[in-house]
Amino acid sequence: MRCIFKGPGLVVAALLGCGLFILGTGGCANYKNNAPFYSQNVKLQNKNTALQAAIHRQKSTIAELKAQLAAHTVPVATLAPKRLSELFTVSAVRVTADTAVAHLKNAKALNGFRVFVRTLMPGNLVLPATGTFTIEAFDLGIAHGSQRIGQWVFTPQQSKKLWYGNFGLNEFCFNCPWKKPPVNHSITFHLTFKDALTGRVFTNQRVIKIKALPTVQAGK
C-alpha cells in the first residue's frame, strides 16, 4: 500500500500525525513506568515545604521570645570591651580553705558557716571586686532527701561591706547561717559570682573538711 502526499501542507500534517502517534504510545508507557517516582517526588516536595514552614514558624517564635526576654531584662551598664581590656578585671573566683563552721553572732552552739572568698585577676592576684555572690552548700553524704543544706545570696551593696583586707586576709567573709545543719565532715561549696563591673559570671566549687559538727544534727 502506498501513501501519496501531495503538497507541502500534506507532508507536514503527516509528519505531525506520526509524531503524535509515537508520543501517545511511548509517552503513556513511560508515564506508567515512572508514575511511582513522580508520586514520591511530589510527596517529598510537599514534605520539604512543610518543614520549611515549620522552621520559619520556629524562628519567628524564638525571635519573639528573645524580644520578650530583652524587654524584661535590665541591661547591665558596663564599659566597651576595648575599655575593659585596659583595666584590671576579675578572671576567676575561689572559695578559700579558711571556710569553716562558726558560732555566728556569738551563738553558744555552732549555727552556720563562715565562707571566705577571693576574687582574682590573671596570675591569681587578688583583686577586690563587688558583685552578686551566690553560695550553696551540699552535704553529699546525705543518703536520703536533698543534699543541698543551704543557699545564700549577697548583693553588691552587701558584699562591698564584707571585704577584709587587714592582717593579710584580702578576701570576702560571708556569714551563712544554716537551716539544715551538716551531718558529715565533707561539705561541698559552690560559688557563683556575677561581676558588677563587667556583668560576667564566674563559678568555683570546693570541698571543705569540717572539723566539728553541730551538737544537734539534722533528723534528731
HEC profile of the chain: CCCCCCCHHHHHHHHHHHHHHHHHHHHHHHHHHHHHHHHHHHHHHHHHHHHHHHHHHHHHHHHHHHHHHHHHCCCCCCCCHHHHCCCCCCCEEEECCCCEEECHHHCCCCCEEEEEEEEEECCCEECCCCEEEEEEEECCCCCCCCCEEEEEEECHHHHHCCEECHHHCCEEEEEEECCCCCCCCEEEEEEEEEECCCCCEEEEEEEEECCCCCCCCCCC
| pLDDT the model gives residue 149 | 93
Do both 47 and 149 map to the same domain?
no
Q: Is residue 17 predicted with pLDDT exceeding 90? A: no
With respect to residue 214, please indicate whether it lies within any of the assigned structural domains. no
**In Å, how far from its chain's centre is CA 163?**
31
Query: Where residue 174 sits, what CATH number does that domain have?
Result: 2.60.40.1940
- 218 is a domain residue: no
Is residue 22 one of the residues assigned to a domain? yes
Q: Judge whether residue 138 has pLDDT over 80.
A: yes
Average pLDDT for the chain: 81
For the segment 183-206, the average pLDDT, to the nearest whole number, is 95
Domain assignment present for 157: yes
pLDDT in tens, 22-59: 545 555 556 566 777 777 888 888 888 888 887 877 77
pLDDT number for residue 12:
44
Q: Are residues 122 and 196 in the same domain?
A: yes
pLDDT average, residue stretch 165-189: 92
- CA-CA distance, 92 to 191, in Å (whole number)? 11
Domain end residue (candidates: 46, 73, 100): 73
Q: Does 195 share its domain with 127?
A: yes
Counted domains in the chain: 2
- 1-34 burial, b for 16+ CB within 10 Å, e for fewer? eeeeeeeeeeeeeeeeeeeeeeeeeeeeeeeeee
Domain hosting residue 12, numbered range: 1-73
pLDDT of residue 196: 92
The whole-number pLDDT of residue 192 equals 98
The answer to whether residue 220 is domain-embedded is no
CA 151 to the chain's CA centroid: 21
Checking if the pLDDT of 84 tops 90, the result is no
- Do the Cβ atoms of 138 and 208 come closer than 8 Å? no
**Does 36 share its domain with 90?**
no
The model's pLDDT over 100-113, given as tens digits with 9 standing for 90+, comes to 999 999 999 999 99
Read off the pLDDT band of 66 (50, 70, 90): low
Q: Let me know if residue 103 belongs to a domain.
A: yes
203 neighbors 194 (Cβ within 8 angstroms) = no
Task: State yes or no: pLDDT of 160 exceeds 80.
Answer: yes
- Of 40-44, 56-60, 93-97, 213-217, minimum mean pLDDT range: 213-217
Together in a domain, 137 and 161: yes
